[in-house]
Structure 1
Amino acid sequence: MPKIVISEFMDEAAIAGELGGFATLYDPGLVDRPADLMAALAGADALVVRNRTQVNAALLAAAPDLKVVGRLGVGLDNIDLAACRARGIAVYPATGANDVAVAEYVIGTAMLLLRGAYGATDAVAAGTWPRNALMGREIAGKRLGLVGFGAIARETARRAVALGMQVAAHDPLLPAEDPAWRPAYGTIARLDLDTLLAGSDVLSLHVPLTPETRGMIDARALARMPAGAVLINAARGEVIEVAAVAAALRGGHLGGAALDVFPQEPLDAAAGAVFRDLPNLILTPHIAGVTRESNVRVSAVTARAVRRHLSEG
């Protein structure tokens, strides 16, 4: 009977419902115990991970019988795809299952940062009544720039247009004739990156980590953005230059930022020191795509893909 190892958190109902006929080891703490994970993989046919488990050459070498990797999410930069292909190991991301969660995170943090009024609880309760200091901005009429225009960015665009935003995107891999640029709710402007940066009140990143995207939002890119613009990164931490973002916030050129991903995860106190005492900054622990609802969807999609592969193989 195939053995399935699950090294990070997953909806347990999906495990029971979709993988109930297989010998399954579910231990979400394995990601933090590399030696135990390698030992567990010695006879495994399937491995299910999120973004923290590094499916690299060393891990694959510890799993000689591995046939399939299920990814509880869509980013694949933690999986050595070339090594998997060479071994004939199938890789299944949970495409589409967390699109809504990330889109809502982007819109929610954009509204929070533009309005700037929601951190006043202690001051109001203390009787200081800081009303004049909290006159923020509306999202309606603002320009949203999307770097990358895949499925998550399109979900974000649909919500943004409904709120009265003007939406543009940069995606050199998506041809101009693709119908995604002309959805039923309105046309999305297709721009080069510099033009997009210069015209975005809110900039949201939706690109995978590649040699081309690594560090693409650097000091130069930030300087091109309008004064007071808001940056949101729920893609990959290495897409931005963290020190440049911190400097732009501290200097006042950036009006706010929401960062859900980081070059080092989990972020420790030393790596997080660059963010200390920065104004109008939201930091979240790689949670944009994880809601109770999306966890159920992602888990079910991934479990079904693994079950199907093992059953058909």
Structure 2
Amino acid sequence: MMDIKKVFVADAVDSACVELLKKFSIQVTCKYKLPKDQLKAEIATYDALIVRSDTKVTADVIEAGKNLKVIGRAGAGVDNIDINAATAKNILVLNTPGGNAISACELTCSLITTLARNVVPAAASLKAGRWDRKLYSGHELYGKTLGILGLGRIGKEVALRMQSWGMRTIGFDPIVPAEEAKKFNVQALELEQIWPQVDYITVHTPLIPATRNLINESVFKKCKKGVKIVNVARGGIINETDLLQALRSGQCGGAALDVFEEEPPTKPITLELIQHEKVVATPHLGASTAEAQIRVAVEISEQIIALTGKSSEYTTYPGVVNHSVLEKIRK
């Protein structure tokens, strides 16, 4: 068990996180959006660091945390944390893999239906004083095929909801066995089998070397003309330059993007993509619900408490990312 007495919270999390930690006599300091030099100076004496998306926990930040035992991400992705640097210093990295699953799933489903019925451009047209009924005629989702890339918590929930719309669901996940996918009515296929069949693609994978630019020019060429795509996972999984070209040519019939290669976006290609008439763009809202914010805040604090061994109620830490460190701790 870990001796965790002081926790530094670098990004805004729900107050439930701080309250729960304090309940177990853990000292908590909250200072948000600090410049890197200030953050490095602050964390030298803390046992644990909690972040969300804003703070980049780079190797030099980790080096400055002389007493750090745990870095906790109140959210699913950990691409803002240098996992290798943390592992090299035997610092445990945690996330909250299920905390925002329902919120991300619901946004995904909303974006799929929005694309199908041209809701955003039609609403903008009407607000501008036009009555463009014929221009914004859409398509039913019933009978269409949805390709789900990543069949974890979010992908599974998306499948179950879109099946109720009458969609056929196929998917790919190198970790989830085909037998498991079949239990929630998803036919597991290889990527090359998926591309020619899908009317819609939604991605629910982490951003790792294997998934960067997973959706690219080559993929679009293998899909049906007019395929639509949704990304509520991570920017960089879809090659933005290739997506823009596919939209221009009509090979891609529409895209709904909640995440981008750079956030906030400043690159000309990304800005042009956001402005495209067939793109629905939102500013990384996947986990932005009151329920998800409370859930991830509580889950990260529960895991830190579990690591101390001070609680009979909180005894598990399902969000461990670098299991090799956990094994060393247990020894």
Measured at CA, do residues 170 and 23 of structure 1 come closer, stay the same or move farther in structure 2, by a change above 3 Å?
Answer: same
Measured at CA, do residues 122 and 257 of structure 1 come closer, stay the same or move farther in structure 2, by a change above 3 Å?
Answer: closer
State yes or no: 1:23 paired with 2:24.
no
Residue in structure 2 matching 1:124, options 120, 123, 126: 126
* Cα distance in 1 for residues equivalent to 2:207 and 2:125: 41
Identical aligned pairs, as a percentage? 32
Measured at CA, do residues 85 and 132 of structure 1 come closer, stay the same or move farther in structure 2, by a change above 3 Å?
Answer: same
Q: Which amino acid aligns with 1:182?
A: K
* Cα distance in 1 for residues equivalent to 2:124 and 2:207: 39
Indicate conservation of the 8 Å contact 2:181/2:188, yes or no.
no
Q: How many residue pairs end up in the alignment?
A: 307
Q: Which amino acid aligns with 2:58?
A: N
* Cα distance in 2 for residues equivalent to 1:127 and 1:302: 48
Equivalence for 1:244: 242
Equivalence for 1:14: 17
Q: CA deviation at 1:85?
A: 2.5
**1:28-47 mapped onto 2 (5 Å cutoff):** 28-30=32-34, 33-47=35-49
Equivalence for 2:148: 146
Q: Which amino acid aligns with 1:190?
A: A
Q: Which amino acid aligns with 2:81?
A: I
Q: Which amino acid aligns with 2:46?
A: A
* Cα distance in 2 for residues equivalent to 1:127 and 1:80: 50
Point out the more displaced range, 152-161 or 138-147: 138-147
* Cα distance in 1 for residues equivalent to 2:87 and 2:55: 18
* Cα distance in 2 for residues equivalent to 1:160 and 1:103: 10
* Cα distance in 2 for residues equivalent to 1:212 and 1:297: 29
Equivalence for 1:259: 257
* Cα distance in 1 for residues equivalent to 2:69 and 2:147: 40
Q: CA deviation at 1:116?
A: 0.4
CA RMSD of aligned residues (A): 2.0
Equivalence for 1:97: 99
Indicate conservation of the 8 Å contact 2:21/2:27, yes or no.
no
- Tell me the secondary structure at the aligned position of residue 5 of structure 1: strand
Equivalence for 2:282: 284
* Cα distance in 2 for residues equivalent to 1:305 and 1:105: 27
Any unmatched runs of 5+ in structure 1?
A: none
Equivalence for 2:183: 182
Residue in structure 1 matching 2:164, options 159, 162, 175: 162
* Cα distance in 1 for residues equivalent to 2:255 and 2:308: 43
**1:219-238 mapped onto 2 (5 Å cutoff):** 219-238=217-236
Q: Which amino acid aligns with 1:238?
A: G
* Cα distance in 2 for residues equivalent to 1:91 and 1:205: 24
Equivalence for 1:55: 57
Q: CA deviation at 1:311?
A: 5.2
Indicate conservation of the 8 Å contact 1:2/1:310, yes or no.
no
Q: CA deviation at 1:261?
A: 1.7
Q: CA deviation at 1:93?
A: 0.8
Q: Deviations over 1:174-215 (max 9, x none)?
A: 2334x23223xxx31111102212111110111122222111
TM-score by length of 2: 0.86
- Tell me the secondary structure at the aligned position of residue 105 of structure 1: helix
Any unmatched runs of 5+ in structure 2?
A: 311-328
* Cα distance in 2 for residues equivalent to 1:237 and 1:40: 30
